Chain A
Amino acid sequence: MNLKTVKQAFYKSLPVLAGYVVLGIGFGILLRNAGYGLLWSAAMSLFIYAGSMQYVGVGLLTGGASVLTTAITTFMVNARHLFYSISMIDTYKEAGKYKPYMIFALTDETYSLLCDGTAPEGVDVNLYRTLVSFFNQCYWVTGSIIGNLIGSLLPFSTAGIEFSMTALFVASFTEQWLTTKNHVPALTGLLCTLLSLVLFGRENFLIPAMLMITLVLTILRRFEENHL
């Protein structure tokens, strides 16, 4: 394992550190208050590893949901991950033995770090991507364990620190904007989601937004081809 790859992966993962530890703590506190201890916290962060789903999952556990309700809810909340996987098929194609873990650990944040398909020069690309994914999961698991242990005893106000996740996506968006010439996909994403939010409300807009984005991009492809 070469040190440069580890270093570069760690550096790449740093923007996620604060956000994951804090959101993980939030999840740990919530789960503890619901009556589930340390092992539950660790198990959910290890085996589910999907931030917003774990928050929703606490409600499912305490509400005594059925297996079917749980399965459907999980599908609805996590359907966006289908998109991440589709767009990483080519990027992860040659990942070999690392591939299963890379797919398993493809969260929103990991996706936003790796989706541009680039890697620093001179690193083992697949190991690099695996380590970025792995470091991120470490932050998340650590946060959820800390949260479960200390509860709400933090000595300072962390109000607003959850904005680090928003900031991560805004920074990724800006960087992609600066590095690409064609801004149509980025604008399609923004506008379709805004439209969907207005039409369907904040509880239900994500799936219609994804369908709209796919539809618009599909139409644009036809349009592009006709002009080639």
Chain B
Amino acid sequence: MNAVILVATMSIVTIGIRFFPFLIFRKQTPQYISYLGRVLPPAIIGMLVIYCLKDVNLTASPFGMPELIATAFVAGIQVWKRNSLISILAGTFVYMLLIQIIF
């Protein structure tokens, strides 16, 4: 029973966070919030990139090499092909090869 309450709590808080900005700016979006809406997406994606790489250890072997190589590879393929699906599949494949076979 306790677990049901905890899961419900997690659910309600998560939903609350996602709805809160929509509820308070329902009528008219202030210019400042619209501005944030424009500039935040690239900034947040940048943040998420770092967030995903936060556990990479640069001080011990292999010094983050698999992540560095695979990340550069994804960016390179994206610049070349402009197709996210291809970049992600190719990059993940390269990363799996790197950590399972090479490093």
Contact = CB atoms under 8 A, between A and B. Distances in A.
Given A64-B2, A65-B6, A80-B44, A92 B22 contact: yes
Interface residues of B, number: 65
A180 interface: yes
B29 A170 contact: no
Contacts of A190: 46-47, 49-50
Interface in A192-206: 192-194, 197, 202, 205-206
A38 interface: no
Interface of A: 11, 14-15, 18, 36, 40, 43-44, 47-50, 53-54, 57, 60-61, 64-65, 67, 70-71, 74-75, 78-93, 99, 103-104, 106, 108, 111-112, 115-116, 157-161, 163-178, 180, 183-190, 192-194, 197, 202, 205-206, 209-210, 213-214, 217-218, 220-221
A189 B43 contact: yes
B6 A67 contact: yes
Contact of B41 (A43, A54, A65, A87): A87
Interface in B54-75: 54-55, 66-67, 70-71, 74-75
B75 A160 contact: no
Chain A interface main SS type? helix
Contacts of B25: 86, 89
A221 B35 contact: yes
B96 A89 contact: no
Q: Which 6 A-B pairs have the closest CB atoms?
A: A189-B46, A189-B43, A160-B96, A186-B42, A166-B52, A85-B21
A82 B42 contact: no
